[in-house]
Structure 1
Amino acid sequence: MFEWWQRIVDHFVYGTLGLSPDSPAGSALDFFLFDTVKILFLLTVIIFLVTFIRSYFPTEKVRDWLAGKHPLVGHVAAALFGIITPFCSCSAIPLFLGFLQARIPLGVTFSYLISAPMNNEIAIAMLFSLFGWKITAFYIGFGLLVAIVAGIIIGKMDLEDEILIKPPAVTPPEIEEVKIPISERIKEAWDYTVDILRKVSLYVIAGVGVGAWIHGYVPADLIVKYAGGDAWYAVPLATILGVPMYSNAAGVMPLIEVLTQKGMQMGTALSFMMAITALSLPEAMILKKILSLKLIAIFFGTVALGIMIIGYIFNALLG
């Protein structure tokens, strides 16, 4: 989808500026320019479309449909939807925000936010090509389990007051019947989109900047040195080391292959991958404008704990 932009960025960084793709500065700058524009573009498009569509379809109907189902249905649907959206942890935030603005239950939106970067089709295809169907199946199953269970836990904690950007008031049914011109719907959707962008854009730029620095300057050998063995602390250490880093599945998969070749256990390596893709410091910085620190800490802590448990299970099953 963004291949054209990647080519432009590559030409500018490696051609016009003359930086080497193998240099930390070149890799970091390329990463920063590509992801900043991509995320801001996704924010603009998704928030505008969600707001515009919401003007035609009362979002309380979605909530009513979910309310009429078993609570597990919404979490499973959101986690499965994450598989078909090829986003990294930061790129998934625009749709996550759209869900919040559409008043989808908080826990369900988190099931999507966890699943989208961790279980998307790019990760599945690359895992299958590198490690085969068995490991891919384990990864998908346990990845969905983490997203669903973590979403359920967060949803049961009544944390709606921890959302900083409140959704617009629900339009009363009697007003909903009024014919609103499409030009007015477009203007209202655009005004709302601009307002949200003003609130979060600086956090996006700062967050991606941190991620770009980590992407370019943190060496892989450092991770192998401290989390490459079979010690009991390897899984939690790999998870903790993975959280500050920032990459999508396509970017981290070659690193996972190298780590396993250098002796890291498969479960430890996949925990590291899950932590990088599902959680990241840049993601936390962007979410800071949307959610309270308390809710961000609960989100990161719950998912990280789930990833560690899955890592130990992976090592036991695949070791």
Structure 2
Amino acid sequence: MFEYFIEYFSALVELSNAMAPYILFGLVFAGVLHELVPQSIVKNHLGKNSLYSVIKATLFGIPLPVCSCGVIPLAAGIKKSGASNGSTLAFLISTPITGVDSILATYGVFGWIFTLYRVVTSMIISIIAGVLTNIYTQKEEKIVVDKPESCSEASCCSSSCESEKRSFRMSAALVYAFSTLLKDIASPLFIGLLLGALITVAIPNNLSEILLQYNWLSYIIVIIIAVPMYVCATASLPIAAGLMLAGVSPGAAFVFLSAGPATNTVTIGVVKKMLGERTLYVYLGTIVVGSIVFGLGLDYIFKDVDVRELVHVDENFGIFTLLSSLILWAFVLYYMIKPYFFKENECEDGSCCSS
């Protein structure tokens, strides 16, 4: 029993170390964007329940080198700034699947055809998810999502609401990142880390043999593993390449590359809280169905794929990574226990009231 606990704790530490730097980077980046980009720009370009807004959100997310957990605070930031549910979800899906670093790494492992296919299909999945969200979740959007920190609220008691133009302050960006955004995602992040570590321990070591044994069911098996599992887009490449070298079809490997970075237990919890239950169903359904359909299409296109040149991932975590993990856990645990020891104040973040 003690050995299982040690194994689980080790998996939790490794998962935290893998995610923490990206989450902290995403928080800081979101805070900087919040200070630099006027909320009117987000509202005007991403706030409408239109196809054009969804497409712009998708294109904006494609090149960003942010993983499936680092994108969470960015998505929360644009949502709080007035983006629609559909635009937020499209950004949340397109960003972690690709990214400049992942695109280049994919090209190095699988070639330009596979890379182009991955980028285009991720755009299609994101746009479809965003459009369906805008169609089916308009009523829920008003209930679930807090209104952005803008001048629409009569309760705002500062003359600074007269204009959204303000000078950049790094201190304000950090306060917004680690007080407002991290507080919103602390609970699902905590639960997701615990579940993610449990899933990591439960995955069998002979995964390749299982996928080879169940040829057509390999898609379903990969989906079951990839959806709740945390894996960055770049880190997923050597896993997919290893599966293909073991005999798994390119389509099944593509399913892992698509569904793995786009979903995990952390993001699932955040999507439900931030965008609502209906959006969660659209989010999971679109990714699962889209990944399988495009995986089958890739199997049709490719007969043989040369994946000899693998991407190597360094599993040795440095001081910076360990420090990031400690900082993240300190904030998460603080916001988890804070309601039990401190009375919540409606305007404690200072966004509307100073008194």
Q: Into which bin does the TM-score normalised by the smaller protein fall?
A: 0.7 to 0.9
Q: Does 1:148 align with 2:127?
A: yes
CA distance change for structure 1 residues 228 and 84 in 2, over 3 Å: closer, same or farther?
farther
Give the deviation of 1:259 after TM superposition. 0.5
Q: Structure 1 length as normaliser, TM-score? A: 0.77
CA distance in 2, matches of 1:193, 1:97: 12
Amino acid at match of 1:131: F
CA distance in 2, matches of 1:48, 1:167: 14
What number of residue pairs does the alignment pair up?
290
Give the match for residue 126 of structure 1: 105
CA distance change for structure 1 residues 112 and 223 in 2, over 3 Å: closer, same or farther?
farther
CA distance change for structure 1 residues 191 and 92 in 2, over 3 Å: closer, same or farther?
closer
Q: Does 1:205 align with 2:201?
A: no
Stretches of structure 2 that go unaligned for 5 or more consecutive residues are 1-6, 154-158, 304-355
State the SS of the aligned residue for 2:70: coil
CA distance in 1, matches of 2:185, 2:162: 33
Aligned 8 A contact 2:36 2:168 in 1? no
CA distance in 1, matches of 2:91, 2:255: 19
CA distance in 2, matches of 1:65, 1:286: 23
Q: Structure 2 length as normaliser, TM-score? A: 0.70
For residues 145-192 of structure 1, the C-alpha deviation after alignment (integer angstroms, 9 at most, x for no partner) is 1111221121222241353444234448x9754699869996698368
Give the deviation of 1:219 after TM superposition. 3.6
CA distance change for structure 1 residues 245 and 223 in 2, over 3 Å: closer, same or farther?
farther
Give the match for residue 271 of structure 2: 287
Q: How does 1:261-280 map to 2 (within 5 A)?
A: 261-280=245-264
Q: How does 1:1-319 map to 2 (within 5 A)?
A: 26=10, 28-36=12-20, 38-40=22-24, 42-43=26-27, 45-53=28-36, 57=38, 59-65=39-45, 71-157=50-136, 158=138, 159-161=140-142, 163-171=144-152, 176-177=161-162, 190=175, 194-215=179-200, 218-222=203-207, 224-226=209-211, 229-231=214-216, 233-319=217-303
Give the match for residue 330 of structure 2: none
CA distance in 2, matches of 1:141, 1:121: 14
Aligned 8 A contact 2:25 2:70 in 1? no
CA distance in 2, matches of 1:178, 1:66: 20
CA distance in 2, matches of 1:179, 1:318: 51
Give the deviation of 1:134 after TM superposition. 1.5
Give the deviation of 1:246 after TM superposition. 0.9
Please report the RMSD computed on the Cα atoms of aligned residues, expressed in angstroms. 3.4
CA distance change for structure 1 residues 227 and 278 in 2, over 3 Å: closer, same or farther?
farther
CA distance in 2, matches of 1:211, 1:67: 32
Amino acid at match of 2:54: H
Amino acid at match of 1:318: F
Aligned 8 A contact 1:36 1:204 in 2? no
For residues 105-142 of structure 1, the C-alpha deviation after alignment (integer angstroms, 9 at most, x for no partner) is 22112111111111222222222111111111211111
CA distance change for structure 1 residues 116 and 195 in 2, over 3 Å: closer, same or farther?
closer
CA distance in 1, matches of 2:247, 2:300: 16
Aligned 8 A contact 2:67 2:232 in 1? yes
Amino acid at match of 1:198: K
279-288 vs 161-170, greater mean Cα deviation? 161-170
Amino acid at match of 1:283: T
